[in-house]
Amino acid sequence: MPWAEAVLVEDGVIAAVGTEKQLFDMVQAGTEVIDLGGRMLLPGFQDPHLHALEAGINETVCFLSAEGAEEVYRQEIAYCLDDQKDVSWFIGVGVSMPALLETVESPMAFLDRLIPDRPAVILDNLGHGAWANTKAMQAVGYLDFQETPGENPPGGLIDRDPVSGRLTGVVFENAQQKLRNAALPPTKGNVSFAFESLLQALDLLAENGITTVSDAGGYWPRGHQEAWIRAEEENLLTVRASNALYLYPDLPFAEQIAEFQKRYSNDPEKLLRFNQAKIYVDGILSQATGALYQPYEASLDLPKDLQRGFLYFQEETLFDYVSALEQLGFQVHFHATGDRGVGLALDAVAQAKKVNSPTDIQHRITHLYLVDKKDVSRFRELNVITDFQLAPSSTNSDTKRYLAGFIGQRAGDLMPARKLYEAGVEMVLSSDWDAEELSPLMKIEAVLTQRDGAFDRVETVIEMMTLNVAKLLQHEDKTGSIEPGKLADFVVLDRNILDIPIDEIGAVNVEATLLGGEPVYDPEGLFK
Per-residue pLDDT tens digits for 275-292: 999 999 999 999 999 999
Provide φ and ψ at 223, rounded to 5°.
Answer: 80, 15
Provide CB contacts within 8 A for 162, sequence distance 6+. Answer: none
pLDDT > 90 in the chain, percent: 88
Residue 359 has what pLDDT? 85
* Cα separation, 403 vs 399, whole angstroms: 6
Residue 394 has what pLDDT? 73
Q: What is the mean pLDDT of residues 17-23?
A: 94
Q: Write down the mean pLDDT value for the chain.
A: 95
* pLDDT bracket for residue 392 (50, 70, 90): confident
Q: How many CA atoms lie within 13 A of 1 on its CB side?
A: 12
**Is pLDDT at 20 greater than 70 in this prediction?**
yes
Residue 259 has what pLDDT? 98
Q: Which H helix or E strand runs over 1?
A: none
**Is pLDDT at 308 greater than 80 in this prediction?**
yes
**Is pLDDT at 15 greater than 80 in this prediction?**
yes
Q: Where are the alpha helices (DSSP H) in 375-503?
A: 376-382, 392-395, 397-407, 417-422, 440-448, 458-464, 467-472
**491 contacts 510 by C-beta, under 8 angstroms:** yes
**Is pLDDT at 18 greater than 70 in this prediction?**
yes
Residue 399 has what pLDDT? 87
**Is pLDDT at 516 greater than 80 in this prediction?**
yes
Q: What is the mean pLDDT of residues 317-333?
A: 98
**420 contacts 386 by C-beta, under 8 angstroms:** yes
Exposure of 293 by Cβ count < 10 A (0-12 exposed, 13-18 middle, 19+ buried)? middle
pLDDT > 70 in the chain, percent: 99
**344 contacts 281 by C-beta, under 8 angstroms:** yes
Name which of 463, 219, 246 is nearest 335 in CA terms. 246
Q: Alpha carbon of 293 to those of 70, 213, 370: distances in Å?
A: 37, 32, 10
Q: Please give the radius of gyration of the chain, using alpha carbons only, rounded to the nearest integer.
A: 24
* pLDDT bracket for residue 452 (50, 70, 90): low
Q: What is the pLDDT of residues 143-180, one digit of tens each?
A: 999 999 889 999 999 999 988 999 999 999 999 999 99
* pLDDT bracket for residue 59 (50, 70, 90): confident
Q: What is the mean pLDDT of residues 488-497?
A: 98
* Cα separation, 348 vs 291, whole angstroms: 15
**Is pLDDT at 188 greater than 90 in this prediction?**
yes
Least confident span in 60-74, 244-258, 319-333: 60-74
* Cα separation, 415 vs 430, whole angstroms: 13
Q: Which H helix or E strand runs over 14?
A: strand 13-18
Least confident span in 62-66, 342-346, 466-470: 62-66
Residue 398 has what pLDDT? 86
Residue 30 has what pLDDT? 85
Higher pLDDT, 441 or 29: 441
* pLDDT bracket for residue 307 (50, 70, 90): very high
First and final C-alpha spacing in the chain = 29
